[in-house]
Amino acid sequence: MNGIGSPVEQKSRFSMARSTYPREVKVRRAFLFPIVALIAGLTLNWAFLVKDVTAQVVEVPVKGMVTMVDLGARSCIPCKMMEPILEKLEREYRGRAAIVFIDISVYRDSARRFGIRAIPTQIFFDKEGREVYRHMGFMSERDIVAQLRKMGVE
């Protein structure tokens, strides 16, 4: 059976399409990633730099300072609910504690680095950069302030 739609012909069309399409996509991604990274101003070195709540570039965790990192996404509803809380706390604790938001839809490698399984996730680091506490889900202002106080931030 050599007509149109024969099993041999279908197999060859499938294998040809399967073998060429993913390779082209991989080549395009590999070629475009460094260009997109340069345009976006992302750093590709070992230091993990992100923009904090006030859009300043900071290294996470901040050395010599208690740090609260909120990992989420701008499209996440609980993350949006936490945004004004984080902005307020960042102003109140400026110079005493670092409050940092990382958008994992922009900084995708951060989800792997911090072992994120759900968003939002808040991670608290002590002054030496050791993880002290981790919380998944919405975290109220009262709970954040209580955790910062437990860590010695007034």
Q: Which pLDDT score is estimated for 32?
A: 44
Distance between CA atoms of 70 and 129, rounded to whole angstroms?
A: 15
**Does the pLDDT value for residue 154 go beyond 70?**
yes
116-144 pLDDT, tens digit each: 999 999 999 999 999 999 999 999 999 99
pLDDT score at 36? 43
Three-state secondary structure string covering 36-65? HHHHHCCCCCCCCEEECCCCCEEECCCCCC
The answer, yes or no, to whether residue 101 has pLDDT greater than 50, is yes
What is the pLDDT at residue 84?
Answer: 95
Q: What is the mean pLDDT of the chain?
A: 76
pLDDT tier for residue 2 given thresholds of 50, 70 and 90? low
Both structure tokens of 152: 């010695």
Reported as a single tens digit per residue, the pLDDT across 61-88 is 988 999 999 999 999 999 999 999 999 9
Q: What is the Cα Rg of the chain in Å? A: 22
Count of other CB atoms within 10 angstroms of residue 102: 24
Task: Tell me the per-residue pLDDT of 22-53, one tens digit each, with 9 for 90 and over.
Answer: 444 444 444 444 444 444 444 333 334 454 44
